[in-house]
Amino acid sequence: MNKTIEEMKNPKTPKAQETREKIFRTALEMFKEKGFEKVTMREIAKACNMAVGAAYYYFKTKEDIVFEFYLHTQQEHEEETQKIFKESKDVQERISKTITIKLEQFAPYRSMLSALFKIAGDPGHRLSPFSNESKKVREEAIDIFRHAIEGSNLKMRGEIRNYLPHLFWLYQMGIILFWIHDRSENQKQSLLLLKNSLKIIFQLIRLSRIPGLKKIKQSAIELLNQTKLN
């Protein structure tokens, strides 16, 4: 019992694979149209010409369907960013594009994603981005930022550099949270926030090499070492 998220993704037979995907795609389409809460599991099953039990055979909970969407985009995100990283060595551009791509992937499903982000506020939830169970996914997401930094033109050396991938991932979470709440047309406020805040972040990073600012840098290192981000 108690399969991990990854194990659940690997049904035994091709037929099962197909069924699982059918449920997934159907549900997603319905969520996109009517929103997560408005769609019932009974409706999803009926739309797939199956019994409720079948849906629950593949997805432990309704939320797990949305979580699977997240896993999918995660995969795509990895591929898309790798292309970008080949095109440019500039860190700021790499990070900016990385997050922009994520938002673009999410865009058509924005309303449904709040169902996923509610989970982030619940420390006990299996699917929380901070939970043990989603550790693997989280680390893959952080790795994308690691790749963005490796082989880039980022001059920064020393301890803080190692924390950057995790910090950017956290930053990305913040941007997404803002984006989900962003009611401006096409969420352009979020894009502005992204652009402008990245500008400041990299100004500060460049600044951090000035010898007179050793003190702040020391404080930052202390903070990061003490506050184990795990």
Partner DNA sequence: GTCTATAACCGGATAGAC
Partner DNA sequence: GTCTATCCGGTTATAGAC
Q: Which residue ranges make up the site for its own copies (CB under 8 A)?
A: 114, 117-124, 128, 130, 177, 180-181, 183, 189, 192-193, 196-197, 199-200, 203-204, 207, 213, 215-216, 219-220, 222-223, 226-228
Residue 29 binds which of DNA, its own copies, none (CB < 5-8 A, kind-dependent): none
Phi, psi (deg, nearest 5) at residue 150: -60, 135
- How many residues bind DNA (CB under 7 A)? The answer is 26
> Binding of DNA at residue 39 (CB under 7 A)?
yes
Q: How far apart are CA 106 and CA 94, in angstroms?
A: 19
> Binding of DNA at residue 20 (CB under 7 A)?
yes
What one-letter code names the amino acid at 94? Answer: R
Residue 5 binds which of its own copies, DNA, none (CB < 5-8 A, kind-dependent): none
Phi, psi (deg, nearest 5) at residue 167: -65, -40
Least distance to its own copies, CB of residue 45, Å = 25
> Binding of DNA at residue 177 (CB under 7 A)?
no
Least distance to its own copies, CB of residue 127, Å = 12
Can you tell me whether residue 116 is helix, strand or coil? helix
> Binding of DNA at residue 224 (CB under 7 A)?
no
Which of 8, 32, 47, 50 lies at the binding interface for DNA (CB under 7 A)? Answer: 50
Q: Which is nearer to DNA, 64 or 140 (CB)?
A: 64
CA dihedral 93, 99, 101, 107 (to 10 degrees): -140
CB < 8 Å & 24+ apart, contacts of 47-52: 48/22, 48/23, 50/19, 50/23
Least distance to DNA, CB of residue 39, Å = 6
> Binding of DNA at residue 60 (CB under 7 A)?
yes
Minimal CA–CA distance to 41: which of 33, 30, 32, 84? 30
Part of the chain binding DNA (CB under 7 A), chosen from 27-35, 52-60, 152-160, 212-220: 52-60
Q: How far apart are CA 206 and CA 155, in angstroms?
A: 8
> Binding of DNA at residue 52 (CB under 7 A)?
yes
End-to-end CA, the chain: 26
Place of tokens 């369907």: 65
> Binding of DNA at residue 53 (CB under 7 A)?
yes
> Binding of DNA at residue 228 (CB under 7 A)?
no
Place of tokens 């997404």: 176
Tokens representing residue 6 in the block: 């990854």
Positions in the binding site for DNA (CB under 7 A):
11-13, 15-16, 19-20, 37, 39-42, 45, 49-54, 56-58, 60-63
